[in-house]
Structure 1
Amino acid sequence: MARLLINGLQAGAIYILLAVGLSIILGTLKFVNFAHGALYIIGAYLGLIIAQDPSFGGKLAEWGFGDIGLGFGYLAALVVVPLVVFVIGVLMERFVARPFYDRPDTDQILLTYGIALILTELFRVLFGGASRSIDQPPWARGSATGVPVLGDALTALGINAVSTWRIVIILLTAVLVGIVFVLIEYTDFGLTVRAGTVDAEMVELLGVKLSRPYLVVFGIGAALAGVAGLVGGPLVNFNPDYGATILVPAFLTVVVGGVGSIRGAVIAGLSFGLIQAGLVQFGFSEWAQVGIYAVAAVVLLVRPQGLLGQEVAA
């Protein structure tokens, strides 16, 4: 049972990182970003290049740049990846999202889906289509029960053998999501963002310029997706197409949790992770993804706005 809990929390952590970033963008800016999965892939490949010294195929190899890995280690990637993907998110908000804020959702979906396809093919051309993974850092290999203090806590909970890396993902996700939650819920910046969500025109009339807070929100959401790709890279093989694969459960987590609700994204992500881990542990791995969709269907039939979403007045 303890192993099930840890595996479920770790799987849920990846969904949460993706869903929280997606949710604050969708809930705050009312922008449907189908390129969010591509940001995950950017984080994964960028992390691989910074942390290790891999050899790539594709056009990079033809041009003589197949060995572009820097080998700076995982901690360096953990610092650089969020910053770079944050900047990418800022540029996306300024030049892609902002001109489409007042356009229909279908226009936003077509635009961002097209960008996702372009990025996917660009990565395939540059790096090749082979699946990759990021090596776990040496300090996070082995059993977490051997780590001072943490090992004692896990042993006290009856957890005798669990990967240190899984614990790192869970703790890192908790810290990052906690920071974002405090920023949005308990700061003047967050108050401005939430007020703009309710009535952007009134906020602008009061002399508050919303373009800068929106820029930061989009950047934060993108950075979280990049971190998800970086921490998920050592656990799941990724390739240029994996962004589309991970995007669907990420959107499902947002919808089930309630659009714009960080708490809802956390609850839905943890629920999905535990459901997947439970089905895998009890020998129903082929039903792991189906279980998520089945639970989502039930939740949305009972509560269409999601677990913690606001009901939209007719």
Structure 2
Amino acid sequence: MVLETAIEILLNGLQQGAIFALLGIGLSVILGTMDFLNLAHGALYLIGGYAGMYFIRETSLSAGYLNSIGVDAIGLGLGFAAAMILVPVFGFIVGLLMERYVAEPFYDRPETDQLLVTFGLALIVQEVIKGMLGGNTFQPTAPTTLFGINVGGPVMLPIIGNYPQWRLYLVGIALFVIGLTYLVIEKTDFGLVVQAGTHDSEMVRMLGIRINRSYSLVFAMGAALAAFAGLIGVSFQTVSPQIGTERALIPAFLVLVVGGAGSVIGAIFGGFVLGITVAGMTVLASQWAQIVLYAVAAGVLLFRPEGLFGSKGVVE
């Protein structure tokens, strides 16, 4: 019984940790490279979740502005496979626009200005979605087939028995995207520029490298990862206008604290540690689940303020 519970906690933790890691990578690289505090990162998760729902299926509306003018349902019904391509692309475009018209004018402004403008943008996105579609909660959208492969229904696992098959595929897909992102940041020329900008952006400029172009791509890549996390999230969690703040923004910052700003490895490690922690506490003492997350982050801040994998230069 103990072993069965431990395996279930691990599997559920990997699912939640995958979302945390996807969110944390984008936020960590943006903050570490650009020194920009983006409180609208959760809104990108929210946008990805609703965009995914729109691309995947046709959704009936019972409230909101669209319903009031006679629109009873929205959605393209293209399926999950199409959404896996379209949602990151959509998030990338949104990220480019956000960087150009929201972030760039505030690069040299105080951090309080950055916080206010991005948090305001997050609230605007949330209220626009609520106004258009209503504040209803929509059910998860898990696929039954993906690229011709059956991913629906249960699968028999040793010790724990039946387990939702899609959730195993979900972890595999997320790990693939995380691994691909790691390779881009760590093993490409673009990634080298990003890492150099994390430690000394002025020196990068002096070498004649157009770091601002890299900034735009970094921001857009982080937005695409957050949107993809939203798509993954809606496949096994309910969807509402509050998910950007409740499920994305706070966990992303906790991952940042634990892993360290600018560290992809730190974001991955922090995401999965926090995901497994919250899964374990949900089973053992659900009322303490969120509190323990803050306790872990506070402990890291106390003994290593720059994060487990962050550098002191980035923090300073």
* TM-score normalised to structure 2 length: 0.91
Q: Which deviates further from its counterpart, 81-90 or 285-294?
A: 285-294
Aligned residue for 1:19?
24
Aligned residue for 1:86?
92
Which residues of structure 1 form unaligned runs of 5+?
146-153
CA-CA distance at 1:206 after TM superposition: 2.3
Matched, 1:261 2:263: yes
Within 2, Cα distance between the matches of 1:204 and 1:43?
A: 33
For the residue of structure 2 that corresponds to 1:182, the secondary structure is helix
Measured against aligned partners, the alpha-carbon deviations of 1:237-291 in whole angstroms (never above 9, x if no partner) come to 1211221112112111111111111111111111111111112223x11111111
Matched, 1:9 2:10: no
Q: Which deviates further from its counterpart, 288-297 or 122-131?
A: 288-297
Q: Which aligned runs of 4 or more in structure 1 are off by greater than 6 angstroms?
A: none
Within 1, Cα distance between the matches of 2:53 and 2:295?
A: 34
For the residue of structure 1 that corresponds to 2:74, the secondary structure is coil
CA-CA distance at 1:141 after TM superposition: 2.0
Within 2, Cα distance between the matches of 1:159 and 1:31?
A: 44
Aligned residue for 1:48?
53
Count of residue pairs brought into register by the alignment: 303
Q: Does the 8 A contact of 1:53 with 1:71 survive in 2?
A: yes
CA-CA distance at 1:125 after TM superposition: 0.5
Q: 1:62 aligns with which of 68, 77, 99?
A: 68
* TM-score normalised to structure 1 length: 0.92
Within 2, Cα distance between the matches of 1:196 and 1:7?
A: 36
Matched, 1:234 2:232: no
Match runs of 1:193-232 below 5 Å: 193-232=194-233
Structure 1: which amino acid aligns with 2:82? A
Aligned residue for 2:33?
28
Match runs of 1:142-161 below 5 Å: 142-145=153-156, 155=158, 160-161=161-162
Match runs of 1:65-144 below 5 Å: 65-139=71-145, 140-144=151-155
For the residue of structure 2 that corresponds to 1:161, the secondary structure is strand
CA-CA distance at 1:137 after TM superposition: 0.6
Within 1, Cα distance between the matches of 2:116 and 2:23?
A: 20
Structure 1: which amino acid aligns with 2:115? I
Measured against aligned partners, the alpha-carbon deviations of 1:140-188 in whole angstroms (never above 9, x if no partner) come to 222244xxxxxxxx64xx5543222221221112111111111111111
For the residue of structure 2 that corresponds to 1:304, the secondary structure is coil
Q: Does the 8 A contact of 1:144 with 1:167 survive in 2?
A: no
Structure 2: which amino acid aligns with 1:279? M
Which residues of structure 2 form unaligned runs of 5+?
1-5, 146-150
Structure 2: which amino acid aligns with 1:263? I
CA-CA distance at 1:69 after TM superposition: 1.2
CA-CA distance at 1:311 after TM superposition: 1.8
Measured against aligned partners, the alpha-carbon deviations of 1:193-220 in whole angstroms (never above 9, x if no partner) come to 2222223233223221112211111111
CA-CA distance at 1:39 after TM superposition: 0.7
Matched, 1:281 2:283: yes
Structure 2: which amino acid aligns with 1:90? L
Matched, 1:272 2:274: yes
CA-CA distance at 1:117 after TM superposition: 0.8
Q: Does the 8 A contact of 2:265 with 2:309 survive in 1?
A: yes
Within 1, Cα distance between the matches of 2:87 and 2:215?
A: 21
Q: Does the 8 A contact of 2:198 with 2:262 survive in 1?
A: no
Structure 1: which amino acid aligns with 2:107? Y
**% of aligned pairs identical?**
47
CA-CA distance at 1:22 after TM superposition: 0.9
Within 2, Cα distance between the matches of 1:144 and 1:266?
A: 27
Q: Does the 8 A contact of 2:278 with 2:289 survive in 1?
A: yes
Q: Does the 8 A contact of 1:3 with 1:162 survive in 2?
A: no
For the residue of structure 2 that corresponds to 1:162, the secondary structure is strand
Within 2, Cα distance between the matches of 1:254 and 1:59?
A: 37
Q: Which deviates further from its counterpart, 119-128 or 189-198?
A: 189-198
